[in-house]
Amino acid sequence: MKSLLASLFLSCTAAFAASIDADLCVYGGTSGGGSAAVQAARMGKSVVLIEPGKHLGGMTAGGLSAVDIGDPRSVGGFAREYFTQLAATTGVTLAWDKPFQSKAGGPATGGAYAIEPHQAEKLFIKMAAEAGVRVHFDARLTSVTKDGPRITSITTEDGDVFTAKMFIDATYEGDQMAKAGVSYTLMREGNAKYGERYNGIYYEAKYQPRTGHLQPGPNGRVKGGQGVWDRDFPLDPYVIKGDPNSGLLPLIQEGDPGVVGNPAPGVQAYCFRLCLSSHPDNQLPITPPPNYNAARYEIVVRFIEACLANGDDMDLRWFSKYDALPNDKWDFNTATFGGNLPGASHEWPEASYARRVEIAKEHEYYHRGLLHFLATDPRVPQKVRDEMRRFGLPKDEFIDNGGWPHQIYVREARRMVSDFVLTEHHTFGREIAPKSIGLGSYGTDTHEIRRIVKDGVVTREGKSGSGRGGFSPYQIGYDAIVPKAAECENLLVTFALSASHTAFSSLRMEPVFMVTSQSAATAAVLAMEEHLSVQKLDYSKLKARLLADGQVLQFP
**352: in domain:** yes
Query: What is the pLDDT at residue 298?
Result: 98
Confidence check: pLDDT of 423 > 60? yes
Helix, strand, coil in percent for the chain, rounding step 5: 30, 20, 45
| Mean per-residue pLDDT, 28-35 | 98
| Mean per-residue pLDDT, 138-153 | 98
Query: What is the pLDDT at residue 98?
Result: 82
Q: What values do phi and psi take at 330, rounded to 5? A: -140, 140
Query: What is the pLDDT at residue 103?
Result: 58
| Domains: count for the chain | 1
Q: Give the whole-angstrom CA distance, residue 365 versus residue 134.
A: 35
pLDDT band at residue 112 under the 50/70/90 scheme: low
Query: What is the pLDDT at residue 107?
Result: 52
Strands in 431-490 per DSSP E: 436-440, 444-446, 450-454, 457-461, 464-466, 474-477
Q: Give the whole-angstrom CA distance, residue 238 versus residue 247.
A: 6
Confidence check: pLDDT of 115 > 70? yes
Confidence check: pLDDT of 535 > 80? yes
Q: Give the whole-angstrom CA distance, residue 121 versus residue 116.
A: 9
The predicted-structure confidence for 431-457, as pLDDT tens digits, reads as follows 999 999 999 999 999 999 999 999 999
Per residue, the 3-state secondary structure of 209-256, as one string, reads CCCCCCCCCCCCECCCCCECCCCCCCCCCEEECCEEEEEECCCCCCCC
Q: At what angle do helices 510-529 and 31-42 cross, to 10 degrees?
A: 30
Write down the mean pLDDT value for the chain: 94
Residue 494's SS3 state is coil
The predicted-structure confidence for 287-339, as pLDDT tens digits, reads as follows 999 999 999 999 999 999 999 999 999 999 999 999 999 999 999 999 999 99
The predicted-structure confidence for 398-416, as pLDDT tens digits, reads as follows 999 999 999 999 999 999 9
**46: in domain:** no
Query: What is the pLDDT at residue 520?
Result: 98
**214: in domain:** yes
**433: in domain:** no
| Mean per-residue pLDDT, 144-171 | 98
**483: in domain:** no
Q: Which domain holds residue 311?
A: 201-401
Long-range contacts of 295-299 (CB under 8 A, 24+ apart): 295/250, 296/250, 296/251, 296/366, 296/369, 297/250, 297/251, 297/369, 297/370, 297/373, 297/377, 298/239, 298/249, 298/250, 299/235, 299/237, 299/249, 299/250, 299/251, 299/252, 299/337, 299/458
Confidence check: pLDDT of 237 > 80? yes
**549: in domain:** no
Query: What is the pLDDT at residue 18?
Result: 59
Question: What DSSP element (H or E) covers 424?
Answer: helix 424-427
CA-based nearest residue to 370, from 397, 344, 405, 334: 334
pLDDT band at residue 392 under the 50/70/90 scheme: very high
Angle made by CA atoms 487, 492, 493, in degrees to the nearest 5: 95
Confidence check: pLDDT of 247 > 80? yes
**332: in domain:** yes
Full-model pTM: 0.95
Strands in 44-186 per DSSP E: 47-50, 66-68, 110-114, 134-136, 141-147, 150-156, 161-169, 184-185
**370: in domain:** yes
Q: Give the whole-angstrom CA distance, residue 115 versus residue 511.
A: 14
Question: What DSSP element (H or E) covers 27?
Answer: strand 19-27
| Mean per-residue pLDDT, 63-70 | 86
| Mean per-residue pLDDT, 219-233 | 94
